[in-house]
């Protein structure tokens, strides 16, 4: 059985239900109670959402989502995947434009 945190198809499905735009993603995260730290791909609302669904050691960035396990650089199972556009849009709005203040927590 594949570990959920290594299954990119599982991650794609989890992200797809959040919405088709940055605003929809923000609203979905808000309804589900996910908050996070701006400009921190390991503690942002999307990473926290994925972690709650068994995707541990993940880093979510505008351009890619990657395996963030400590041993990742020496691990042949290390993975990366492109960030879906609605998620990338949310990250740009959350991090760069400083929108969605209610989803932010201080580190």
- CB 28 within 8 Å of CB 46: no
pTM exceeding 0.75: yes
Best CA proximity match to 66, nearest among 80, 83, 87, 47: 80
pLDDT above 90 (res 5): no
pLDDT above 70 (res 40): yes
- Domain segments of the chain as ranges: 4-69+77-100
- CB 60 within 8 Å of CB 81: no
Structure tokens at 103: 């989803």
- Is the model more confident about 105 or about 9? 105
Convert the pLDDT of each residue in 60-99 to its tens digit.
Answer: 999 999 988 765 566 666 788 999 999 999 999 999 999 9
* Crossing angle for the helix pair 22-32 and 45-52, to the nearest 10 degrees: 50
């Amino acid at each position: 059985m594949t570990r959920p945190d290594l299954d990119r198809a599982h991650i794609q499905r989890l992200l797809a239900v959040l919405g088709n735009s940055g605003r929809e993603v923000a609203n979905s995260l808000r309804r589900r109670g996910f908050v996070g730290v701006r400009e921190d791909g390991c503690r942002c609302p999307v990473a926290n959402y994925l972690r709650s669904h068994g995707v541990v050691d993940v880093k979510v960035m505008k351009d890619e989502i990657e395996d963030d396990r400590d041993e990742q650089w020496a691990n042949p199972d290390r993975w990366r995947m492109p960030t879906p556009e609605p998620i990338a849009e949310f990250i740009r709005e959350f991090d760069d434009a400083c929108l969605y203040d209610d989803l932010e927590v201080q580190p």
